[in-house]
């Protein structure tokens, strides 16, 4: 993937475990930017392009153990490659800001810390697929296990494969996101997402202002 730092600096990603409110906050952030006159493309992972959406269905539905962890990791990166080629890079090259609900850090947290895939293997896969491409800002929405359980229990839907994984898995994912944030403080901001939608949105806007100036 070839892209300049100026271009990929306009990619903002929202990360976090199940029930963190990423989709809601991504939409609110997009509207806030649009109200400021900024062109925005809103997308998600896995998915965001036709082929990637087909892979998404394989990943988020069905039995919890339907994939070998490394196979699952490669499926995420296959979807990501399609997403980058078909949606993210064209939008960035057209001058838009891109807001993405999940990106590289979810793979590291879920398949690496959560499922035990070697972190260096994931890092090499990322380099092979994306090169030096990295988001300009990553907002990690953090919720307690109690809030996660309450929120996921309250929402319907068939895309619940990850939600049905064990408590220990979700604890490892949360710890993984914290480790990622600690290692990349220049890119990542942890947002306390146990708060109200309005409070979380305000914290996100404050964090986003730093990449707009």
Q: What is the pLDDT of residues 108-147, one digit of tens each?
A: 999 999 999 999 999 999 999 999 899 999 999 999 989 8
Instruction: Evaluate if residue 5 carries a pLDDT over 90.
Output: no
Domain ranges of the chain: 7-212
The mean predicted confidence, pLDDT, of the chain is 94
Kindly report whether the global pTM for this prediction surpasses the value 0.85. Answer: yes
SS3 content of the chain, % helix, strand, coil (to 5): 55, 15, 30
Q: What is the pLDDT of residues 179-206, one digit of tens each?
A: 999 999 999 999 999 999 999 999 999 9
Q: What is the pLDDT of residues 9-47, one digit of tens each?
A: 899 999 999 999 999 999 999 999 999 999 999 999 999
What confidence score (pLDDT) does residue 101 get?
Answer: 98
Calpha distance 81→179 (Å, rounded): 25
Is residue 166 classed as helix, strand or coil in its secondary structure? coil
CATH superfamily to which 7-212 belongs: P-loop containing nucleotide triphosphate hydrolases (3.40.50.300)
% of the chain at pLDDT higher than 90? 87
Is residue 190 classed as helix, strand or coil in its secondary structure? strand
Total residue length of the chain:
213
Q: What is the pLDDT of residues 71-98, one digit of tens each?
A: 999 999 999 999 999 999 999 999 999 9
C-alpha to C-alpha distances, 191 to 70, 181, 188, nearest whole angstrom: 29, 11, 10
Calpha distance 29→96 (Å, rounded): 14
Calpha distance 52→49 (Å, rounded): 5
Query: How many CA atoms lie within 13 Å of 160's alpha carbon, on the beta-carbon side?
Result: 11
Angle of helix 69-83 versus helix 50-60 axis, rounded to 10? 160
pLDDT confidence bin for 1, thresholds 50/70/90 = low
What confidence score (pLDDT) does residue 108 get?
Answer: 98
Instruction: Check residue 114 and report its DSSP letter.
Output: I
What confidence score (pLDDT) does residue 210 get?
Answer: 87
């Amino acid at each position: 993937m070839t892209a300049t730092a100026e271009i990929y600096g306009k990619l903002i990603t929202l990360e976090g475990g199940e029930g963190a409110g990423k989709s809601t906050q991504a939409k609110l952030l997009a509207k806030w930017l649009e109200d400021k006159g900024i062109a925005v493309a809103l997308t998600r992972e896995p998915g965001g392009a036709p082929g990637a959406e087909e892979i998404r269905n394989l990943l988020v539905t069905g039995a919890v153990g339907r994939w070998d962890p490394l196979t699952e990791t490669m499926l995420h990166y296959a979807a990501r490659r399609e997403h980058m080629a078909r949606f993210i890079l064209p939008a960035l090259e057209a001058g838009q800001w891109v807001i993405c609900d999940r990106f590289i850090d979810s793979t590291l947290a879920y398949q690496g810390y959560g499922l035990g895939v070697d972190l260096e293997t994931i890092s090499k896969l990322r380099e092979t697929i994306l090169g030096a491409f990295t988001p300009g800002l990553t907002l990690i929405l953090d919720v307690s296990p109690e809030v996660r359980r309450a929120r996921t229990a309250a929402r319907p839907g068939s895309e619940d494969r990850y939600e049905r994984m064990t408590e220990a898995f979700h604890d490892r994912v949360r710890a993984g996101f914290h480790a990622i944030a600690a290692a990349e403080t220049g890119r990542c901001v942890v947002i306390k997402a146990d708060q109200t939608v309005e409070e979380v949105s305000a914290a996100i806007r404050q964090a986003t202002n730093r990449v707009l100036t």
